[in-house]
Each structure stands twice: as C-alpha cells, then as structure tokens.
Amino acid sequence: MRLMFKQRFFSWFDSYDIFDASGRPMYTVKGELAWGHQLRIYDTGGWEVGMVKQKIFSLLPTFEMYMGGSYVGRICKEFSFFTPKYNIEYNGYYVEGDLLEWDYEVYGPNGRFVANVGKELFNWTDTYVIDVADPKDTLCVLMLVLAIDAEKCSRD
C-alpha cells in the first residue's frame, strides 16, 4: 500500500494530509499547542486513531505513540556522531536509512520488511512516500514516520 504524506503549507502547528496512491484522503494529522510535539491522527470519519507525543523531560528526544488512548511504544534518539540512530520500542521495528535520513526502510521481527519511506525533494513542504508491505501495518508505520519527522524537526 502506498501513502503520500504531505505537510500542510499554511499551518501554525505540524499538520499533515495522508493520501493513498490514487489521491484519496486516508488520514489527517493535526499538531497541537503543547510542550514539545503532539500530533493527533484522525481517520476519514474524523475519529482519532492515534497520537504521537514528545516526552519533555528526557535527555535525548523521545516520542511516545498511542492507539485508542493506550500506550503502544516509543522511539528515542540515541547519542551518535554522524548518522542518527534510534532506539525503537514499538512492534519490534527497527530502521535502516541513509546519511541524510530522507530515505529509510522499516523492518520488523526476524528481519521482515515492513515499509520503505522516501522523501520527495523540491516540494514546498515536507512530502514523503511510504510503501507499506502489509496494509494492516499502515497506521503503525505512519506513527513511526511521524515520530522520526518530529525528532528531526526538534533537532533543527
């Protein structure tokens, strides 16, 4: 399943529209005024299906993920000199990516390929293409991509 992840141009907070390959809306992500990043994910019916929230009092950036109001995992940036590394405690996922962090792959337990994430360059706003191997992993992968993007924003 292919998703287009596009940041809204005119937005005070991080807001994104998520479309499928044919351009139909799948999710809306709305940032909220809070200490740190807080992103709520809504389905096309307007129901909240997930949230990514930055944990404020931590040495390195940490983002927690929630589904249906319940904690499901977190991603923490690890100390590294050249390439960013993450400690991911979420679905057994791990990430392998390039030096610029614009293209990376997500793997699950036993090295199972989960998704490929690529950033499209030369757009007015952040635009990612996410190819998810199994459609049931779509929301989980989206939350992971949002957390990684939020970590990059907090670094800048």
Alpha-carbon gap, residue 120 to 102, rounded angstroms: 8
Could you give the CA distance from residue 111 to residue 135 in angstroms, rounded to a whole number? Answer: 18
Question: What is this structure's pTM?
Answer: 0.87
- Alpha-carbon gap, residue 18 to 74, rounded angstroms: 21
Calpha distance 23→109 (Å, rounded): 31
Q: Each residue's pLDDT tens digit in the chain (156 positions)? A: 899 887 755 444 578 889 998 999 999 999 887 777 899 999 999 999 999 999 887 778 899 999 989 999 999 988 877 677 788 999 999 998 874 567 899 999 999 999 999 987 765 667 789 999 999 999 999 999 989 888 876 665
Say which amino acid occupies 137. D
Each domain of the chain, given as residue ranges in start order, spans: 2-155
Cβ-based neighbour number of residue 39 at 10 Å: 25
Alpha helices in the chain (DSSP H): 138-155
CATH fold of 2-155 reads: Porin (2.40.160)
